[in-house]
Amino acid sequence: MVEMLYEKDVTTNYLAGKKVAFIGYGAQGHAQANNLRDSGVEVVVGVRPGQSADKAKNDGFEVYSVAEAAKQADWVQMLTPDEVMADVYKNEVADNLEPGNVLGFSHGFNVYYKEIVPPADVDVVMMAPKGPGNLCRRTYKEGFGVPALYAVYQDHSGHAEDLAKEFAKANGAARAGLLATTFKEETDEDLFGEQNVLMGGITALIETGFEVLTEAGYSPELAYFEVEHEMKLICDLIYEGGFAKMYKDCSNTSEYGSYTRGPRVVNEESKRAMKQNLQEIQDGTFAKEFMDDYHNGFKKLYAYRSEMEQSQLQKVGDELRAKMPFVAAEDKYSD
């Protein structure tokens, strides 16, 4: 069983005096850079000219090219999208790493699948928050944080694990809890969760439920509320107290139906499909397919995205959400 660590358990001070360069200033880059600066760490940002650079400058950071930021820093935290990270690393970071530097990640994808092969004379660590960037930043400012995983891929200094934990603590994650993992485990589980449950599974379930109701003649608007809008309410209950709280706060009818009808939908056939998906994550099939599509201009991804945006479910949802200001989308990130 993995032990959960908290602030009191992180007592070393190897991060002190190090300059951290955040490569990328999107949701995670913005959150981590601001959190670490607020924790007293010296921070610079490395991005290309554009909206992210302007945002970082407006937030008071020293902003440089990726190469210059990496050259200045003792710790380079890679927070660009997975598909572009290897090119950014090879073209702008690799030649600017010095022996004894720390190369940090928040997802193991590129290292695990060897898109990035770090030099032997640096520490390679990971701090992966279990929440989106805007939540990491908001909870930090509220005096709390989101839990995080930490891992060591390469320990050159002899205290890479302590560095990973200190970085997580400076991000506010140790307030909520830290769990040790490996680059392999984090990547496998993260991709599996996204594909089969959190995104792929949920969206497929909602879409299919919507289609069954509308094809049977039920109102698309009512179908939307039934299978998509209420999903957040149910997930909130599970988040607060697991299945027990969810069932307690819902009707006996719904609980009984869940036990007896749910397994007809998600069953042994679904489990076999999940196992196949996990195998394709473990053997690199998914990573190759994804990167091949990226190098081909993301033709498949953009086609899937267009199909989703044009679906009846999305259009009905857009119309209804426009009349519900309490569910309006927030800014991408805010400080």
Binding residues for Mg(2+), by number, are 190, 194, 226, 230
Which phi and psi angles does 100 have, rounded to 5°?
95, -10
Rounded CA-CA distance 335/309 in Å is 29
CA angle 134, 140, 142 (to 5 degrees): 105
Q: Is 107 a catalytic residue?
A: yes
The full DSSP string for 143-160 is: T----EEEEEEE-SSS-H
How many other C-beta atoms can be found within 10 angstroms of the C-beta atom of residue 181? 21
Q: What letter represents residue 73's amino acid?
A: A
CA 27 to chain centre: 10
Binding site listing for NADP(+): 25-28, 48, 52, 133
For residues 290 and 81, is the Cβ–Cβ distance under 8 A?
no
Cα dihedral sign, 185-187-190-193: negative
Helix (H, G, I), strand (E, B) or coil at 150: strand
Binding-site residues, in ranges, read 25-28, 48, 52, 133, 190, 194, 226, 230, 251
Region of residue 24 (left: phi > 0; alpha: psi -120 to 50; beta: else) = left
Chain-centroid distance of CA 131 in Å reads 6
CA neighbours closer than 13 Å in the CB half-sphere of residue 112: 26
Q: What is the C-alpha separation between 68 and 37, in angstroms, rounded? A: 19
Q: CA–CA separation, 15 vs 69, rounded Å?
A: 18
- Out of 107, 159, 229, 295, pick the active-site residue: 107
- Give yes or no for a contact between 51 and 188, defined as CB atoms under 8 angstroms apart: no
- For the annotated binding site for substrate, the residues are 251
Q: Kindly give the residue spans of alpha helices, DSSP state H, lying in 61-129.
A: 66-72, 82-88, 109-112
User: Which residues are catalytically annotated?
Assistant: 107
